[in-house]
């Protein structure tokens, strides 16, 4: 349940997302949904036993932890496109590099990318400024 003090902000944000999602599909302005998720990397302590006639596959529940990875997930639902980018961490710098890949590699012909993200602390315009400093005046 949403606390009463946050309901107005939630409804306003939800209406904004619904309005963005209702826009006509235009490849010049692709709608990209972007999120991330962590994944624990594990290995078997006891090798799994494959399926055999009359016997299901068997896998022991004990495992060895081999670290963790971050998955940046991006999709353009109306264009039928998706991508997963694996990184070691989930920092603002990693976020900025994932966005740069979207702009430079995946959608270089787009006039503008409409990006839908959650409110994670690394999903801010400031991430781009700390990662890719603006050039000095007169540099271009």
Number of domains in the chain: 1
Residue pair 109/79 in contact by the 8 Å Cβ criterion: no
The reply to whether 104 falls in a domain is yes
Q: Sheet containing 81-87: which strands, arranged edge to edge?
A: 81-87, 63-76, 31-44, 114-116
The reply to whether 137 falls in a domain is no
Grouping H, G, I as helix, E, B as strand and the rest as coil, residue 21 is helix
Residue 108: exposure state from Cβ atoms within 10 A (0-12, 13-18, ≥19)? exposed
The reply to whether 10 falls in a domain is no
Percent of the chain with pLDDT over 70: 94
The reply to whether 8 falls in a domain is no
Q: What is the pLDDT of residues 64-88, one digit of tens each?
A: 999 999 999 999 999 999 999 999 9
Q: Locate 98 and state its tokens.
A: 């994932």
Q: Which pTM was predicted? A: 0.74
- Domain residue limits at 116: 24-45+59-131
Q: Locate 113 and state its tokens.
A: 């990318």
Q: What is the pLDDT of residues 85-103, one digit of tens each?
A: 999 998 888 999 999 999 9
The reply to whether 120 falls in a domain is yes
Name the helix (H) or strand (E) containing 66.
strand 63-76
Q: Mean pLDDT throughout 37-59?
A: 93
């Amino acid at each position: 349940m949403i606390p009463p003090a946050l309901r107005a902000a939630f409804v306003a944000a939800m209406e904004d997302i619904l309005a963005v999602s209702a826009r006509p599909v235009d490849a010049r302005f692709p709608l990209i949904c972007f999120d991330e998720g962590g994944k624990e990397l594990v290995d078997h302590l006891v090798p799994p036993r494959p399926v055999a006639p009359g016997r299901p596959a068997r896998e022991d529940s004990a495992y060895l932890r081999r670290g963790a990875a971050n998955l940046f997930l991006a999709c353009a639902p109306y264009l039928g496109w998706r991508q997963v980018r694996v990184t070691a961490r989930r920092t603002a710098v990693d976020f900025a590099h994932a966005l740069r890949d979207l702009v430079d590699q995946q959608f270089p012909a787009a006039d503008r990318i409409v990006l839908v993200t959650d409110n994670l602390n690394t999903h801010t315009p400031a991430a781009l400024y700390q990662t890719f400093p603006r050039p000095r005046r007169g540099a271009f």
